[in-house]
Amino acid sequence: MSASFNPVLRLRAAVNRWRRRCWRALFFRMLFGERGTGDGQLLLARARISPATVIEHEENLWLADDVFIGHFNYIEASAGVRIGSGAQITNFVSIVSHSTHRSVRVAAALSGAADLDGAERAGDLRAPIEIGACCFIGPHSTLEAGARLGRACLVHSHSRVRGVFGDYAVIAGNPARVTGDVREQDARWLRQHPQYRDAYNRWLAGLPATADVADARKDEAP
């Protein structure tokens, strides 16, 4: 019997398609509307967060409106995470505001030091993370404790980001470095599409201001 006329196979195919559609509708379909933290827990009409994203210490996650956070991300916000308006976090991104990589090397089981479980350990690294308005974070990137991105930064996929980066930076690598300016990329595109230049300039002028990070020093932790 031809596979195309096999009733059992046709039934299985139909069931599998139905299961995928149901699963997507329940667990992966993204809906507009979130409740922010702080500032009176404002309702954010244009914010979207995938149900497949894991957020720890959500009370310390500050969102502006129009934020997009895609599937299979991990956000650990114990030391605070701020995400500016229009920012996009794609998929498989880790944002972690603390690290215990030093503390684990002086744990009691290894060094005989006093038991520090549950205490604030001297070796812990904890620092807030800030992602500026209209930033784009590519897949499989990691933002470490203390990372601060200015407005409209572009983080390439598979980047490990730590330290401070100014507005419009193109960021790539492990460890990540500034490799360009998004406005240069935009200028090339606008030369091909000049009808959008005025709107683009108005958009640039209207971006929310961020703290001056240009002269801040990068964390030197390994």
> What pLDDT is recorded for position 112?
54
Low-confidence ranges of the chain (pLDDT < 70): 1-4, 37-41, 106-123, 209-222
State the pairing for strand pair 142-143/136-137: unpaired
What's the half-sphere exposure (Cβ side, CA atoms, 13 Å) at 81? Answer: 24
Contacts of 10 (CB under 8 A, 6+ apart): none
Q: Which amino acid is at 95?
A: I
| 157 close to 178: Cβ distance less than 8 angstroms | no
Q: What is the pTM of this model?
A: 0.79
How many beta carbons lie within 10 A of that of residue 200, not counting itself?
15
φ, ψ for residue 76, nearest 5 deg: -110, 110
> What pLDDT is recorded for position 220?
35
What's the half-sphere exposure (Cβ side, CA atoms, 13 Å) at 190? Answer: 12
Q: What percent of the chain has pLDDT over 90?
A: 55
> What pLDDT is recorded for position 1?
54
